[in-house]
Protein backbone atom coordinates (compact mmCIF):
# COMPACT_ATOMS: atom_id res chain seq x y z
CA UNK A 1 0.00 0.00 0.00
CA UNK A 2 1.77 3.12 -1.19
CA UNK A 3 1.74 6.47 0.54
CA UNK A 4 0.57 5.40 4.00
CA UNK A 5 0.48 8.20 6.59
CA UNK A 6 3.02 7.22 9.24
CA UNK A 7 1.39 9.49 11.83
CA UNK A 8 -1.49 6.99 11.78
CA UNK A 9 0.20 3.66 11.27
CA UNK A 10 3.95 3.86 11.87
CA UNK A 11 5.08 2.83 15.37
CA UNK A 12 7.80 4.75 17.19
CA UNK A 13 10.35 1.99 16.52
CA UNK A 14 9.76 2.40 12.80
CA UNK A 15 9.98 6.19 13.05
CA UNK A 16 13.26 5.68 14.87
CA UNK A 17 14.56 3.61 11.95
CA UNK A 18 13.39 6.10 9.34
CA UNK A 19 14.87 9.13 11.08
CA UNK A 20 18.15 7.33 11.63
CA UNK A 21 18.45 6.22 8.03
CA UNK A 22 17.18 9.45 6.47
CA UNK A 23 19.29 11.86 8.50
CA UNK A 24 22.14 9.60 9.70
CA UNK A 25 21.60 10.69 13.30
CA UNK A 26 22.83 9.02 16.46
CA UNK A 27 20.25 7.24 18.62
CA UNK A 28 20.39 9.87 21.38
CA UNK A 29 19.49 12.67 18.98
CA UNK A 30 16.71 10.58 17.42
CA UNK A 31 15.16 9.93 20.83
CA UNK A 32 15.33 13.65 21.60
CA UNK A 33 13.46 14.45 18.37
CA UNK A 34 10.79 11.83 19.02
CA UNK A 35 10.33 13.03 22.60
CA UNK A 36 9.88 16.59 21.33
CA UNK A 37 7.24 15.41 18.87
CA UNK A 38 5.37 13.56 21.63
CA UNK A 39 5.51 16.51 24.04
CA UNK A 40 4.32 19.02 21.46
CA UNK A 41 1.60 16.75 20.15
CA UNK A 42 2.99 17.16 16.66
CA UNK A 43 2.77 14.54 13.94
CA UNK A 44 5.49 13.31 11.66
CA UNK A 45 4.14 12.28 8.28
CA UNK A 46 6.12 9.84 6.18
CA UNK A 47 5.16 8.34 2.86
CA UNK A 48 5.64 4.59 3.20
CA UNK A 49 5.33 1.94 0.51
CA UNK A 50 4.25 -1.49 1.70
CA UNK A 51 3.60 -4.81 -0.02
CA UNK A 52 0.42 -4.66 -2.09
CA UNK A 53 -1.34 -7.41 -0.11
CA UNK A 54 -1.62 -5.29 3.05
CA UNK A 55 -5.11 -3.91 3.67
CA UNK A 56 -6.17 -0.86 5.73
CA UNK A 57 -6.61 -2.71 9.04
CA UNK A 58 -4.02 -1.48 11.59
CA UNK A 59 -3.73 -5.09 12.81
CA UNK A 60 -2.65 -6.24 9.36
CA UNK A 61 -0.37 -3.25 8.89
CA UNK A 62 1.37 -3.93 12.21
CA UNK A 63 1.74 -7.60 11.29
CA UNK A 64 3.37 -6.70 7.98
CA UNK A 65 5.62 -4.03 9.48
CA UNK A 66 6.72 -5.82 12.64
CA UNK A 67 6.48 -9.57 12.03
CA UNK A 68 6.12 -10.81 8.46
CA UNK A 69 9.48 -11.61 6.92
CA UNK A 70 11.53 -11.00 10.06
CA UNK A 71 13.75 -13.99 10.93
CA UNK A 72 12.23 -16.07 13.73
CA UNK A 73 14.35 -18.57 15.65
CA UNK A 74 12.23 -19.46 18.68
CA UNK A 75 11.12 -23.12 18.67
CA UNK A 76 7.68 -22.58 20.17
CA UNK A 77 6.91 -19.50 18.09
CA UNK A 78 7.87 -21.38 14.94
CA UNK A 79 5.60 -24.24 15.98
CA UNK A 80 2.74 -21.79 16.56
CA UNK A 81 3.28 -20.14 13.20
CA UNK A 82 3.41 -23.44 11.32
CA UNK A 83 0.23 -24.64 13.03
CA UNK A 84 -1.58 -21.38 12.25
CA UNK A 85 -0.47 -21.60 8.62
CA UNK A 86 -2.05 -25.04 8.58
CA UNK A 87 -5.24 -23.57 10.03
CA UNK A 88 -5.21 -21.10 7.15
CA UNK A 89 -5.57 -23.86 4.52
CA UNK A 90 -8.55 -22.98 2.33
CA UNK A 91 -8.95 -19.61 4.05
CA UNK A 92 -6.99 -16.35 4.23
CA UNK A 93 -4.19 -15.41 6.61
CA UNK A 94 -6.15 -12.28 7.52
CA UNK A 95 -8.93 -14.51 8.87
CA UNK A 96 -6.44 -16.43 11.01
CA UNK A 97 -4.64 -13.30 12.17
CA UNK A 98 -7.85 -11.80 13.55
CA UNK A 99 -8.35 -14.98 15.59
CA UNK A 100 -4.70 -15.46 16.59
CA UNK A 101 -4.96 -14.22 20.17
CA UNK A 102 -7.94 -16.48 20.81
CA UNK A 103 -6.08 -19.38 19.20
CA UNK A 104 -3.25 -18.80 21.66
CA UNK A 105 -5.65 -18.89 24.59
CA UNK A 106 -7.44 -21.98 23.33
CA UNK A 107 -4.23 -23.91 22.60
CA UNK A 108 -2.31 -23.05 25.79
CA UNK A 109 0.05 -20.66 24.06
CA UNK A 110 0.85 -23.39 21.54
CA UNK A 111 2.94 -25.18 24.14
CA UNK A 112 3.61 -28.61 22.59
CA UNK A 113 4.17 -30.14 26.03
CA UNK A 114 0.56 -29.31 26.94
CA UNK A 115 -1.00 -29.93 23.55
CA UNK A 116 0.21 -33.54 23.33
CA UNK A 117 -1.92 -34.26 26.41
CA UNK A 118 -5.20 -33.10 24.84
CA UNK A 119 -7.93 -35.73 25.00
CA UNK A 120 -11.31 -36.13 23.30
CA UNK A 121 -12.98 -33.87 25.86
CA UNK A 122 -10.53 -31.09 24.99
CA UNK A 123 -11.11 -31.63 21.28
CA UNK A 124 -14.86 -31.35 21.79
CA UNK A 125 -14.37 -28.16 23.80
CA UNK A 126 -12.28 -26.70 20.97
CA UNK A 127 -14.95 -27.69 18.47
CA UNK A 128 -17.42 -25.54 20.42
CA UNK A 129 -15.08 -22.55 20.60
CA UNK A 130 -16.35 -19.91 18.18
CA UNK A 131 -13.15 -17.89 18.56
CA UNK A 132 -11.09 -20.35 16.52
CA UNK A 133 -11.47 -22.20 13.22
CA UNK A 134 -13.55 -25.21 14.20
CA UNK A 135 -12.22 -27.86 11.87
CA UNK A 136 -11.81 -31.23 13.57
CA UNK A 137 -9.09 -32.47 11.21
CA UNK A 138 -7.03 -29.31 11.70
CA UNK A 139 -7.43 -29.43 15.48
CA UNK A 140 -6.42 -33.08 15.58
CA UNK A 141 -3.46 -32.26 13.32
CA UNK A 142 -2.16 -29.68 15.82
CA UNK A 143 -2.26 -32.29 18.59
CA UNK A 144 -0.56 -34.88 16.41
CA UNK A 145 2.03 -32.38 15.19
CA UNK A 146 2.93 -31.41 18.75
CA UNK A 147 4.26 -34.93 19.27
CA UNK A 148 6.19 -34.75 16.00
CA UNK A 149 7.60 -31.39 17.12
CA UNK A 150 8.99 -33.07 20.24
CA UNK A 151 10.55 -35.85 18.18
CA UNK A 152 12.17 -33.46 15.71
CA UNK A 153 13.45 -31.23 18.52
CA UNK A 154 15.13 -34.18 20.21
CA UNK A 155 16.66 -35.55 17.03
CA UNK A 156 17.80 -32.27 15.48
CA UNK A 157 18.77 -30.38 18.61
CA UNK A 158 15.91 -27.92 18.19
CA UNK A 159 12.92 -27.29 15.94
CA UNK A 160 14.32 -23.99 14.67
CA UNK A 161 17.65 -25.58 13.80
CA UNK A 162 15.84 -28.26 11.80
CA UNK A 163 13.57 -25.87 9.89
CA UNK A 164 16.25 -23.30 9.12
CA UNK A 165 18.41 -26.04 7.60
CA UNK A 166 16.19 -25.91 4.51
CA UNK A 167 17.56 -22.44 3.70
CA UNK A 168 21.10 -23.15 4.81
CA UNK A 169 20.57 -21.41 8.14
CA UNK A 170 20.06 -17.95 6.67
CA UNK A 171 17.27 -16.00 4.93
CA UNK A 172 16.77 -16.28 1.19
CA UNK A 173 16.55 -12.69 -0.09
CA UNK A 174 14.36 -12.43 -3.16
CA UNK A 175 14.05 -9.43 -5.47
CA UNK A 176 10.44 -9.42 -6.63
CA UNK A 177 9.28 -6.14 -8.17
CA UNK A 178 5.56 -6.93 -8.01
CA UNK A 179 3.21 -9.16 -6.07
CA UNK A 180 2.44 -11.21 -9.18
CA UNK A 181 6.06 -12.38 -9.35
CA UNK A 182 6.01 -13.95 -5.88
CA UNK A 183 5.68 -17.75 -6.15
CA UNK A 184 3.39 -19.99 -4.10
CA UNK A 185 6.09 -22.62 -3.55
CA UNK A 186 9.84 -23.05 -3.96
CA UNK A 187 12.35 -25.91 -4.10
CA UNK A 188 13.04 -25.30 -0.40
CA UNK A 189 9.35 -25.47 0.53
CA UNK A 190 9.03 -28.66 -1.51
CA UNK A 191 11.91 -30.15 0.47
CA UNK A 192 10.45 -29.00 3.79
CA UNK A 193 7.05 -30.44 2.86
CA UNK A 194 8.51 -33.84 1.99
CA UNK A 195 10.69 -33.96 5.09
CA UNK A 196 7.92 -32.94 7.50
CA UNK A 197 5.45 -35.37 5.93
CA UNK A 198 8.03 -38.14 6.28
CA UNK A 199 8.30 -37.24 9.97
CA UNK A 200 4.51 -37.58 10.20
CA UNK A 201 3.35 -33.96 10.29
CA UNK A 202 -0.02 -33.05 8.82
CA UNK A 203 -1.25 -29.91 7.01
CA UNK A 204 2.26 -29.08 5.84
CA UNK A 205 1.87 -28.99 2.06
CA UNK A 206 4.44 -27.08 0.02
CA UNK A 207 2.19 -24.01 -0.27
CA UNK A 208 1.70 -23.96 3.51
CA UNK A 209 5.44 -24.44 4.03
CA UNK A 210 6.26 -21.57 1.69
CA UNK A 211 3.81 -19.22 3.41
CA UNK A 212 5.41 -20.27 6.69
CA UNK A 213 8.90 -19.58 5.33
CA UNK A 214 7.81 -16.13 4.16
CA UNK A 215 6.22 -15.25 7.49
CA UNK A 216 9.12 -16.56 9.59
CA UNK A 217 11.75 -14.68 7.60
CA UNK A 218 13.36 -17.76 6.10
CA UNK A 219 12.45 -16.09 2.83
CA UNK A 220 12.26 -12.33 2.29
CA UNK A 221 9.39 -11.89 -0.16
CA UNK A 222 8.68 -8.24 0.52
CA UNK A 223 8.59 -6.61 -2.90
CA UNK A 224 11.59 -4.41 -3.60
CA UNK A 225 9.58 -1.19 -3.31
CA UNK A 226 8.41 -2.12 0.21
CA UNK A 227 10.16 -0.34 3.06
CA UNK A 228 10.52 -3.70 4.85
CA UNK A 229 12.60 -5.34 2.13
CA UNK A 230 16.05 -6.31 3.36
CA UNK A 231 17.71 -3.88 0.98
CA UNK A 232 15.96 -1.01 2.76
CA UNK A 233 16.10 -2.25 6.33
CA UNK A 234 19.74 -3.32 6.37
CA UNK A 235 20.78 -4.62 9.78
CA UNK A 236 17.23 -4.30 11.13
CA UNK A 237 16.24 -7.48 9.28
Residue ranges for the binding site? 51, 64, 222, 226
Of 8, 27, 7, 28, nearest to 17 (Cα)? Answer: 27
Query: What pLDDT was estimated at residue 4?
Result: 40
Residue 223: CB partners within 8 Å, gap ≥ 6? 51, 52, 176, 177, 178, 179, 181, 182, 229
Please report how many Cα atoms fall inside a 13 Å half-sphere around the Cα of residue 47, on the Cβ side.
3
- Quote the crossing angle between the two packed helices 206-215 and 75-88, to the nearest 10°: 130
Contact between 49 and 227 under an 8 Å Cβ cutoff? The reply is: yes
Choose the catalytic residue: 53, 63, 73, 94.
63
**pLDDT > 80? residue 65:** yes
DSSP string, 103-131: HHHHTGGG-HHHHTT--HHHHHHHHT-TT
Active site residue 68: no
**pLDDT > 80? residue 21:** no
Choose the catalytic residue: 60, 68, 85, 162.
85
Contact between 156 and 162 under an 8 Å Cβ cutoff? The reply is: yes
Residue 16 DSSP SS3: helix
**pLDDT > 70? residue 48:** yes
Q: Per residue in 185-227, pLDDT tens?
A: 999 999 999 999 999 999 999 999 999 999 999 999 999 999 9
**pLDDT > 70? residue 9:** no
Residue ranges for the binding site for Zn(2+)? 51, 64, 222, 226
pLDDT band at 233 (very low <50, low <70, confident <90, very high): confident
**pLDDT > 50? residue 36:** yes
- Quote the crossing angle between the two packed helices 136-156 and 187-199, to the nearest 10°: 90
Domains of the chain: 4-67 (no CATH), 75-220 (1.10.340.30)
C-alpha separations of 191 from 9, 71, 165, 205 in Å:
37, 19, 10, 10
Residue 74 DSSP SS3: coil
Active site residue 93: yes
Strands 172-173 and 4-5: unpaired
Choose the catalytic residue: 60, 68, 93, 118.
93
Q: Where are the alpha helices (DSSP H) in 109-186?
A: 112-115, 120-127, 136-156, 159-164
Q: Provide the 10 A C-beta neighbour count for residue 160.
A: 21
**pLDDT > 70? residue 45:** no
Amino acid sequence: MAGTDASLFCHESLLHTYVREAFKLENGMINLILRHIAEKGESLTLQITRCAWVNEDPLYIAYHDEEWGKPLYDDRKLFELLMLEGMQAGLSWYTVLKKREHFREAFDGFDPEKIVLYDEAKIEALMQDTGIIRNRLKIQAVIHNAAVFQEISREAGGFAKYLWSFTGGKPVINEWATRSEVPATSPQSDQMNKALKKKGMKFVGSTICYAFMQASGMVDDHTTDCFCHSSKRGSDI
